[in-house]
Structures are given as structure tokens and as C-alpha cells.
Amino acid sequence: MTQALDTQTAIAVIGAGAMGSGIAQVAAQAGHKVYLHDQREGAAEAGRAGVAKQLQRRVDKGKLEQQTFDAIVGRIHPVSALSEIADSGLVIEAIVEDLEIKRTLLADLEELCNEETILATNTSSISVTALGAKLRHPERLVGMHFFNPAPLMALVEVVKGLATDNAVAEIVHATATNWGKKPVFATSTPGFIVNRVARPFYAESLRLLQEGAADPATLDAILREAGNFRMGPFELTDLIGHDVNYAVTNSVFNSYYQDTRFLPSLIQKELVEAGRLGRKSGQGFYRYTEDSERPEPGTEPACQSDDTRLIVEGETGPAAQLVERFREAGLEIVERDGPGQLRFGEAVLALTDGRMATERARLEGTPNLTLFDLAFDFGKATRLAVSVADQATDKARADACALLQKAGISVSVIEDRPGLVVMRTVAMLANEAADAELHGVATKEDIDLAMKAGLNYPEGPLSWSDRLGNGRVFQVLTNIQNSYGEDRYRPALLLRKNHHADKGFYA
């Protein structure tokens, strides 16, 4: 078993901004002596003071003992010259995201430190292979990508460049574990794991907004209250900053030779050009002034129906818990064979399969069709998105809404678009994750862990895909691709293979 660096090993962090200071805090909390260096005069001292300020709040709340506070802060040593870090066993650079500037620093560190010193880069987007290309010993360079804020976020991506020694990566992985983190291995490909696999979370809602499916507040609410994501994509990009999020999307898009899966959004481009960068500028998709209020999501008013009988035709798959909620609400449940749909009054309801309700209604001869969206947990979801076929009667629409409301579910009717919201987003996340596994970016276990630990997803996309049932994500993507006629929605080769083998990623 690979040994982590022990606490007698000094750690150096170059760059004393929010990220560098946070990394210094993490290493100091783990018991290491930490050198903190920044070329800006006074920045290292300010970084240490910032750590002390953050920790003092915990002391004041009784969550941290004064003795522990003194020990942690006392282990962080601001240094003004690089020569003072020469005895470090691990040096982590967290400076500006610029290839040449980082290369220059790494070359200086290689000359300064002894041959056993591990050099790590906290880059979020620059190739570790490219950073090490001009070093005499690129095998000792590894990516150690923390997420902001470093003391709170559990994930660390340990990124191996083409020349990185596996033993070096394993030491860094073990060390990150000892620091209380959840490290994952990744190869040096654009976006690594998280910044690549997460693109559809933003991209699909941005596209739905551009297509007029719903407004940002409604789409955010659907992904929170049905998908169980911590934040919706619009409030999250407002928090990240649209300049940052848009730049990452462009970087991944260009790095993959303009693959349409990563196509940037014109809506987000306009926000950046207008200076509406989100929270930090006071306005993004939402306003952040003292007198501003968050818009309410689109929610159907109470719908009335005197019907008390629900006909369940066939297996409802992931939505089986929804049927149980209707039973608990006092409805009479009649079960019979069929294609996996619900009949209530004039309404016919079915889980989206990636087609539009209007198209499916015509092809299946069910004009009163309403499609409902995926939920992370149908037994607990408080909101569902639905789309209603153009052919449906007003009574059928009202019956569909009334049925869901009987189970205590808020209903958001969106424009009829392929795959609705949660299903479409989860399918695309799983698709990108499948491609990342196929290309050897990371193992399926590390991909799922990265998305949960790095972005607080309720479940890893590959595990979620398996839970939906073999072939469902493949079917959804195939139908969405047929609707748009675009390569963007092509199912990943591994998804296609698993579909035809009738197996999941973990089965």
C-alpha cells in the first residue's frame, strides 16, 4: 500500500489567493508545516491572516478549540523568497491559469528543490502533460486539483500527465486521503473529470431556456425539487460567475475540436458581454440587490377532478414509487397490462422517453398524452415538470395536473421539448461520463465519486443511469437525437454497447 507523506514533511504552496490559502489551511490542519509564498508583496501574510479569520469564526461559535486554532495558524509560514521552501517534500502551485507562467515557475522549482520533491499543479484546465513537457524530470509533476473553497470541498482530482510516475500520483492520492479529502485519479485530458462531465448540467438548461421551454426560476426549481440537485444551473452559474463558467465551456469546446456536445451558449455569451456576471456583479440570471426578490417558479394553480380511480397500465419503471403515492392519497388503483402509462379521467400520463409529447401522442394514438419528467426519488419529489401534447383537451391537461397534485406534487408545465428537464440533463451527464470512462479518463467509480464530492450531485451519473434500468438512457438519447437531428445527442459507444448487452455500468 502506498504511503502518504507524513506530517514531518513540509508542504509549500505557491500563490496566496483564496485557493492557495485554502490549500495551505488544509495541509496545516493535517499537521504539516506549510510554507506560503506569493510574489506580491504582503500577499502571503494576508493569506495567512485570511485563514486565521476564517478559523476564528469557528472558535467564536465553539466549533474549534483555541489551542487547535493556534496550532493550525502557527504551522503556516509566509515566506518572501522561493529559496525558503527548498526543503519541502511537496510543492503545490496555485498561481494564475497561464501555461507559460506556470511552466516558468515549475522550472524554477525543479532547480531549487531536491530530486525527491513532488511538484503539483492546482490547474483546473491546463494540460499537466504540457506543463511538464519542458521539465528535466516531468515524471515528478502531478495535477492536484482542489475545488473552491478548498477547506470545505472534499474532492481532489489527482491528474496524471503523460510522463507522471504512477508512484508519485499514488503518494499524492494517499496524502490527500490523509488530509480528509476524497481524491480521484484522472488522466490529463481537457476538463479532467468534473469540468468535462458537468458541462451538460449547464448546457441543457441553457438550451431549454433559449428554446423557450421555461424561465430560469422554473428550470432551477425543477432540477432542485425533482432532480435533487443542490442548486439549479442558473443560480449555480450566477454563483460561479458567468465569465468563469463561459470561459471553461469555451476551453473544453475548443480543446475537443469544437465537438457540438460542448457548444457554448449564446445566452451566456450575451450575459458576459453585458457584464452581468452573476452575484459578483449584482446581476446575472437573477438580480442581487438588497431590494430584489427571486422570481417564483412557474407552478400550476390547483386543478380540480372528481375522479378517484387511477388505471396503471403495465410497468412504470422508475416511477413505481409515484404510483404508491397515489395509493396513499386514497385513489383506487386498478392495474392491467399495457405500455407503462397512467390513465386518470381523460388524461394519459407517461414518463418521458426523450420524444416530444406531441410526437408521441400521434404515433401512439393517445391524443390526451401528458409526459412527466424524471425525479431522483419519485417517493419524495415535491415538484415535477410535465409537457402536454398539442392534441390534448383542456380537461385532459387539468386531469393530469390534478392527479399529480393529489400526491402533494407541485406541477410545472413547460413547453413540449424532447426529454423535458431532469431526464434530459441526467441522460447527457451519464452520456458524457460514459465517454470519459471509455476514453480512460477515469474509472466509473472515480467519475461517480468526483461528481458527488466535487459538485454535490445526489448520485453519480453512471450509477444513476443503472438505477433507471438497462437501456433507458440510451433510448432517451436516441430519441432526443432523432428529434433534433444533431450529433450533440449521440449516445456514447459504451452506452450503446451496454444497451445491446442488456447490462449496466456496474452490472
Active site residue 315: no
pLDDT tens-digit readout, 37-62: 999 999 999 999 999 999 999 999 99
Catalytic pick among 124, 127, 188, 465: 124
pLDDT in tens, 397-449: 999 999 999 999 999 999 999 999 999 999 999 999 999 999 999 999 999 99
pLDDT in tens, 459-494: 999 999 999 999 999 999 999 999 999 999 999 999
* pLDDT score of 290: 87
Q: 419's torsion region: left (phi>0), alpha (psi -120 to 50) or beta?
A: left
- Domains of the chain: residue spans and CATH: 11-188 (3.40.50.720), 192-213+215-296+422-507 (1.10.1040.50), 309-413 (3.30.750.190)
**CB within 8 A of 200, min separation 6: which ones?**
261, 425, 428, 429, 431, 432
What is the H or E stretch that residue 185 is in? strand 182-187
CB atoms within 10 A of CB 83: 8
Identify the residue whose cell numbers are 441553457. Answer: 206
pLDDT at 253 over 80: yes
Q: Within 384-460, where are the H helices?
A: 394-406, 422-438, 444-455
Q: Give the active site residue among 32, 77, 145, 499.
A: 145
CA gap 123, 100 in Å, rounded: 13
Report the percent of the chain where pLDDT is more than 70.
100
C-alpha span between 87 and 76 (Å, rounded): 15
User: Cβ(223)–Cβ(422) under 8 Å?
Assistant: yes
Size (the chain), residues:
507
Q: What is the pLDDT of residue 83?
A: 94
Distances in Å between the Cα of 318 and the Cα atoms of 266, 453, 459, 478 are: 34, 25, 15, 19
Instruction: Let me know if 145 is a catalytic residue.
Output: yes
Question: 73 pLDDT band (50/70/90 cuts)?
Answer: very high
Read off the pLDDT band of 125 (50, 70, 90): confident
Q: Give exposure, 171-186, as e/b (b: 16+ Cβ within 10 Å).
A: bbbbbbebbebbbbbb
Write a three-state SS string for 50-68. HHHHHHHHHHHCCCCCHHH
Q: Cα dihedral angle (288, 294, 298, 303), rounded to 10 degrees? A: 180
Annotated active-site residue in 88, 122, 127, 195: 195
CA distance 92 to 446: 22
What mean pLDDT do residues 161-184 have? 98
Model confidence over 328-379: pLDDT tens digits?
999 999 999 999 999 999 999 999 999 999 999 999 999 999 999 999 999 9
Question: Which band of pLDDT confidence, cut at 50, 70 and 90, is reported for residue 499?
Answer: very high
For residue 192, pLDDT beyond 90:
yes
Q: Is 254 a catalytic residue?
A: no
Decide if 188 contacts 159 (C-beta within 8 A).
yes
Q: Which of 325, 331, 326, 370 is nearest to 348 (CA)?
A: 370
Beta-carbon contacts of 60 under 8 Å, excluding residues fewer than 6 positions away, are none
Q: How confident is the model at residue 2 (pLDDT cuts 50, 70, 90)?
A: confident
Q: What is the pLDDT of residue 334?
A: 97
pLDDT at 1: 66
Residue 391 has pLDDT above 90, yes or no: yes
Are the CB atoms for 251 and 125 separated by under 8 Å? Answer: yes
Please tell me the distance from the alpha carbon of residue 378 to that of residue 421, in angstroms, as a whole number.
15
Element (H or E) spanning 25, and its range? helix 18-29
Q: Which of 157, 170, 225, 346 is the catalytic position?
A: 157
* 157 part of the active site: yes
Is the preceding peptide bond at 149 cis, omega within 30 degrees of 0?
yes
| Average pLDDT in the chain | 97
Query: Looking at residue 306, what is its pLDDT?
Result: 86
Q: How far apart are CA 456 and CA 468, in angstroms?
A: 20
